[in-house]
Amino acid sequence: MSDTLDLFIRAEHADLMKKLNAWDIAYHQNDAPIVDDATYDAAKKRALELEEKYPELAKNGASTHVGAAVSTKFKSYPHTRPMLSIADVFNETDVADWFSKLPSRDLFIELKIDGVSFSARYENGILVRGLTRGSGVAGEDITENLKTIPDIPQKLSGEYPDVIEVRGEVYMSRADFIDLNARSKKPFANPRNAAAGSLRQLDAGITAKRKLSAFGYTYGDVSARNWQTQSEYMSRLESWGFKTTSHWARHAHSIDDIQNVYNDIMTHRAEIPFDIDGLVIKVNDIKTQERMGARANSPRWEVAYKFPAARAITILRDITPQVGRTGVLTPVAELEPINIGGVVVSRATLHNADEIARLGVKIGDKIIVQRAGDVIPQIVGVAESGNGAPYVFPTTCPVCGAAVIQESGAVARRCVNALSCPAQRIGELEHFVSRHAFDIAGLGVRQLELFVERGWIKNPADIFTIIARHGDAIKNLDGFGDKSVANLNTAIEGARRIDLHRFLYAIGIPDVGEVTAKLLAKKFGNVDRVRRATFGDLLEIDGIGDTMANEIISFFADAHNNEIIDELLQQITVVDATTNANTDGPLTGKKIVLTGTLANYTRDEMRELLESMGARVQSSVSPKTDIVLAGADAGSKLQRATELNIPIWSESDIEKLKK
């Protein structure tokens, strides 16, 4: 490659991986996909194409990437054998290319369930541990949650190996999904989200109340294998007490066989009582599977033959802007209800104003709608233009009436009233009471929703008066009592004194995370100086650029925000940054980047320790970085530090400074 081409290719690949990683976190950790399967698949396919053509991009690329990092909410354990993903194919040509390389033509075809992967480890027939896929190398401990699912036996029946890890998919049938949403205050978007959100609960009691189902389909660690084929293993699963998709499974020996199965399942897809998004085609013989082995992130002996997005044509009746948790306005298409792939669709996302302009859609048009991967319905084009006028995006928030702004270079348009817009309230309040903000234990989403619904909390300041005003009423709510109200009061009172950087993080200034909040606190010292900061003042801070400076200026220029902050300051004490500043620590002024897994500290603990020594912890390596603190499995940051000749430290180096 030429140097110029190399630069463009690397930039494109880096952008693709940034998107894929963000989408993976939304899908695997947050159980809330933000793009449809078709968009994700297209980005992943392009990244893989680049990595195949330029192998140096493969390291930390799509070809080596599985799932998302394990959430810190759960304990994690390493998988005895990695839980790999399955390579996707999308058409007969892709299938034929894979098929031509097989040493065996005996294939076993299963349904690709649109659910959540699990691994259940049995020792002497007893379920001892359940994990999510996680990163593929390590998973989240969901043992107690799996025990609540009837389809996953806690004790195996029949004859079984001393040790066996059964792997499969947890899902929710469409009927159970409809029933759950009918009982939920916040409906789930689709059965996959409902299954994922139910399975990854810290309270297994919540999981138990949801009607989850499961299929087994493969295995991980096993002490002794007495089956020779995938079809035999499916029979073993059923003898142990698992349900499988054997009823829909097929054998194939040619490309024509595969396509016939594909066409047959596609025809009857809506009749299957749970969501599927394709077929999984496997070499049936286990020894052949073992000989073929795997790539970095997927076996060579199986592929997922994905179904295309289901499409239909209907009429666009209206466009309604919805205000999300962060204040971003998302235009939603209100449709003439249409059946797409067995599901009645009446709404679809239009993403943003730029997308509306790109598509050229107007109210009254006949538009093409697709359900890509059965996730988020979206409009993909205009089939027949009507006589409607072009849509005008609102300049004021449809919920609270505050101004809607669009920063320079940004696509999204956002309500500026972050602290008191009702549409943003729950999300902002949840952030406000979180561990790195005001850290008010006992005030979670459930409690906040109850209190907001009753009008007891309208803005953050109301948190500090709620017990005095509504304590007796709270005691009479389900799940509350004298002790819980007393505990909540103690937590609230303990939060009345807060450091400046935590306060700045808590109030939800757009783009201002913990690191930036600390920079602001260090630069300005107190709340008033931060509120009066000019654009020039902000740009003097290394780490704050034009976009972030504009966000900060806009936030403090908004009358609603200032009113809420003034009310809040009447209830609390914000400790000036100069009170706790360490100007003579052993690491004062040093810019340090953390990477890898630490042995004796969490990331947050190490960050606090370094900052207590006067260091400034950064998120990325640059020529200005003084030290990179590396733990186990450090990746690209360590490599970048080595290239720049930046000193590499270990935990022991920090321990020496403590003595």
**Catalytic annotation, residues:** 112
How far is the C-alpha of 140 from the C-alpha of 508, rounded, in Å?
29
Which tokens sit at 524?
A: 């300005």
How far is the C-alpha of 134 from the C-alpha of 29, rounded, in Å?
8
The C-alpha angle with vertex 423 and arms to 344 and 403, in degrees rounded to 5, equals 115
Question: In terms of DSSP H, where are the helices of 241-300?
Answer: 255-267, 286-292
Which residues are within 8 A (CB) of 420 and not within 5 positions of it... i.e. 6 or more apart?
A: 400, 458, 459, 560, 563, 564
Q: Which amino acid is at 478?
A: D
Which residues are within 8 A (CB) of 435 and not within 5 positions of it... i.e. 6 or more apart?
A: none
> 194 near 184, Cβ under 8 Å?
no
Phi, psi torsion values for 402, nearest 5 degrees: -70, 170
How far is the C-alpha of 210 from the C-alpha of 200, rounded, in Å?
12
For residue 447, is it left (φ>0), alpha (ψ between -120 and 50) or beta? Answer: alpha
> 409 near 548, Cβ under 8 Å?
no
90 burial (CB, 10 Å; 0-12 / 13-18 / 19+) is: middle
- Nearest Cα to Cα of residue 279 among 295, 264, 291, 299: 264
In the block, tokens 């990746």 appear at 635
| Length of the chain measured in residues | 659
330 burial (CB, 10 Å; 0-12 / 13-18 / 19+) is: middle
How far is the C-alpha of 127 from the C-alpha of 109, rounded, in Å?
28
Longest dimension (CA), the chain: 77
How far is the C-alpha of 416 from the C-alpha of 327, rounded, in Å?
7
How far is the C-alpha of 88 from the C-alpha of 280, rounded, in Å?
9
20-25 — which CB contacts under 8 Å span 24+ positions?
20/44, 20/47, 20/62, 20/65, 21/65, 21/68, 24/65, 24/67, 24/68, 25/68, 25/69
- Nearest Cα to Cα of residue 107 among 261, 326, 317, 310: 261
